[in-house]
Amino acid sequence: MRRRVDALPPLREVLSGGLTAKKSLGQHFLFDLNLTDKIARAARVAGAPPDAPLAGATVVEVGPGPGGLTRSLLKAGAEVVAVEKDARAAAVLAPLQEAADGRLTVHIADALTADWRAIAPEGAVICANLPYNVATPLLVGWLTEGPWPPWWASATVMVQREVAGRMVGAPGRDDYGRLGVLTGVRCHASAVFDVPPTAFVPPPKVWSTVVRLDPKPEAADTPIGALSRVTAAAFGQRRKMLRSSLRSLVSDPEALLGDAGIAPTERAERLELRDFVRLAEIYADRLASAVEREA
């Protein structure tokens, strides 16, 4: 299969047929197969040989476009499930599907509304150059779904460097926010390498970063719905004290903060992950008690 994929025409020749990147879809295509090979290697699964880092894995790719990263995933030994919103890509990917001998399935669908558990098998690996305009909502969706651990065993994604900074941000940093809390509570996250704008066609105005996420099994006990709501309120007005920003969540934020052992004058950007988890647990207990009283 590797030889058949390698024998395909160069990507620039493939795109000469008229598939151009759409700004409305956040598309920026990768033509450098050395770079896409590097991304595929970053998604390595445990126990796979060095020359086939994804051997035996099913990889979910979002936004394959003309299929540059898709080629690298196939060469790395993966079976690929690609989800692409742009129907124009189907014809461009058809020769790659034929060369893949049944190892590539393409779904023309919106990734934001996709039923991932129906599309992907349990334990699949996510590896994708995420379209810029859907990267954050996609990540939040994957991080807040239940049950936990999720259907995906790991996620290696390329996003805008600013988004990557928010994913791995730490308390006290300007880029620390809701995405960083959700990521840090549920996953081990690491920035793998940066990618310059010149690697893309058309080149974006910003750098990109490849980030690797590995789910934390112990995060199964975190009330993720409550955490999602607490972080949305806390960072919705991040410069305000928590006694003010949490007023959109509860009528008595100072009591909630007191129960969690957090000063009401504290700000969201200074709280540790464990502080947000404690707040979420207390908030979830409050909601459960309210339901019991109404029953």
Domain boundaries, given as residue ranges, for the chain? 2-218, 224-294
The sign of the CA dihedral 213, 156, 153, 45 is negative
Separation of alpha carbons 293 and 49, rounded Å: 57
Q: Is 232 left (phi over 0), alpha (psi -120 to 50) or beta?
A: alpha
DSSP letter for 199, please: G
CB atoms within 10 A of CB 93: 23
Q: What is the pTM of this model?
A: 0.93
2-218 placed in CATH 3.40.50.150:
yes
Q: What is the pLDDT along the chain (295 residues), one digit of tens a residue?
A: 555 777 677 777 766 556 676 777 777 888 899 999 999 999 999 999 999 999 999 999 999 988 999 999 999 999 999 999 988 888 889 999 999 999 999 999 999 999 999 999 999 999 999 998 899 999 999 999 988 999 999 999 999 999 999 999 999 899 999 999 999 999 999 999 999 999 998 899 999 999 999 999 999 999 999 999 999 999 998 889 999 999 999 999 999 999 999 999 999 999 999 999 999 999 999 998 877 677 6
Q: Give the single-character DSSP code of 9.
A: P
Domain 2-218 shares a fold with domain 224-294: no
The reported pLDDT for the residue numbered 188 is 97
- CA separation for the pair 50, 41 (Å, rounded): 8
Beta sheet of 187-195, edge-to-edge order: 104-108, 79-84, 58-62, 124-129, 152-160, 208-215, 187-195
Q: Could you read off the pLDDT of 251-281 as tens digits, one per residue? A: 999 999 999 999 999 999 999 999 999 999 9
Q: Which residue ranges are tagged as binding site for S-adenosyl-L-methionine?
A: 28, 30, 63, 84, 110, 129
C-beta separation of 8 from 95 below 8 A: yes
Task: Output the known binding site.
Answer: 28, 30, 63, 84, 110, 129
pLDDT at site 199: 93
Q: Which CATH number describes the domain made up of 224-294?
A: 1.10.8.100
From the DSSP assignment, how many helices (H) and strands (E) are in the chain? 13, 9
> Tokens representing 155?
């996620």
- Give the pLDDT confidence of 108-150 residue by residue, as tens digits: 999 999 999 999 999 999 999 999 889 999 999 999 998 899 9
Average pLDDT of the chain to the nearest whole number? 92
CA dist., res. 247 & res. 212, Å (int): 35
